[in-house]
Amino acid sequence: MRLVLLFLVIPVALLGQDPLVKNYLTENNLKGNIKTIEYLNCEVPPDYESIDIDRNYHEFIAISNGNIVSRSVYDGLNNLRANWEYEYDEAGRKIGMAGVQFSRKGDISTCSIDYYEYGPSGYLNKQISPSCQEQYLGNFSEYHYNDIGIMILKVSINSAGESKLERNYIYDKTLNTIFQFGKDSRIKSIHKYNALGEKVESVIYSKGQLDWRWTCKYSKEGEPIKRTSFSANAPHANNKYGGIWKWEIFYDSQKKPIEAIGANNSGDVEMIRFVYEYDHIGNWVSRMKFVNGECMENLMRIIEYEK
């Protein structure tokens, strides 16, 4: 029984599950039986001299059984700039994805294909990414787990048979701390979780030196309410987002962030505020973002429900 209780509080991020396989509606706190979602990014602030066509002004998502089956992104001139298609098995796990991105002229700039294979325990065993462009090599990733389903090794090999990436994962006795190592045996990152599986700290190292640190505290409902971050590396270290930043986050009754107040060790202060409008079910259909009082984003969301 002790082992069972321990297993129940293992952070989801430590288990052998592909994070991309989560139900899209549940992950984004969306209500109702949704068929499609359309995002329209209106142009703000008003002092823009011209439309930046590389911004995602129009995004269309088709959903089936709670998961995305297709996603298309259009630029400011309504030209198709990217399209992805997804396939799932009967358990709702993603087993395939194909995507293509286009340049301003309409030429294919990049494309990607991914296949996912799962073992008898339901954990992701393999991710196969064949090349769909001659100038790029394909990639094959294999995941290894211990007896209770926690990932301990990830190996990626390109189509030329060369080892591209090898990551070892070691855990403390509580299973709430992950130590990730590279091929040179140096610690690459440390991730700590609380008993509820919520990430409370991440530390990233580069060539043995501290590169980035992030901490987070949560409310009783599980929302992040206080965050701190430290960046020692360029480009952030050389601008106002470098150094140490501390943020406090506030939510509305729909568990949506409505205000974030941040300050760094250099005296810079930033206030971000969100204003939402909701439909009859409780999903937001309009979101405006203000930074230090200036409207920087006006996003509309058109939701079509199954009849």
Given this model, what pLDDT does residue 121 score? 82
31 vs 175: CA distance, rounded Å: 33
Given this model, what pLDDT does residue 284 score? 96
Rg of the chain in Å (alpha carbons): 22
Task: Give residue 13's pLDDT band: very low, low, confident or very high (50, 70, 90).
Answer: very low
* Residue of 191 and 266 predicted with greater confidence: 191
Task: Give residue 271's pLDDT band: very low, low, confident or very high (50, 70, 90).
Answer: very high
Given this model, what pLDDT does residue 64 score? 95
295 vs 16: CA distance, rounded Å: 41
Given this model, what pLDDT does residue 148 score? 76
* Residue of 118 and 49 predicted with greater confidence: 118
- What's the pTM? 0.78
Given this model, what pLDDT does residue 4 score? 31
Per-residue pLDDT at 16 exceeds 80: no
What lies within 8 Å, CB to CB, of 150 at 6+ separation is: 10, 14, 15, 16, 169, 171, 175
27 vs 94: CA distance, rounded Å: 15
Assess whether the previous peptide bond of 45 is cis (omega < 30° from 0): yes
21-52 residue pLDDT tens:
468 998 888 999 999 999 998 766 555 455 56
Per-residue pLDDT at 265 exceeds 80: yes
Percent of the chain with pLDDT over 90: 44
Per-residue pLDDT at 238 exceeds 60: no
Average pLDDT, the chain: 83
Report the DSSP pairing between strands 80-88 and 67-74.
antiparallel
Per-residue pLDDT at 250 exceeds 80: yes
97-111, 156-170, 265-279, range with the lowest pLDDT: 156-170
Given this model, what pLDDT does residue 208 score? 79
Report yes or no: 241 and 253 within 8 Å, Cβ to Cβ. Answer: no
Given this model, what pLDDT does residue 54 score? 59
168-210 residue pLDDT tens:
888 887 778 888 887 667 778 999 998 888 899 999 988 778 8
Given this model, what pLDDT does residue 240 score? 64
Per-residue pLDDT at 281 exceeds 50: yes
What lies within 8 Å, CB to CB, of 62 at 6+ separation is: 35, 36, 68, 69, 70, 71
Per-residue pLDDT at 108 exceeds 50: yes
Domain boundaries, the chain: 19-104+277-306, 119-168, 172-267
Task: Give residue 151's pLDDT band: very low, low, confident or very high (50, 70, 90).
Answer: confident
Given this model, what pLDDT does residue 106 score? 87
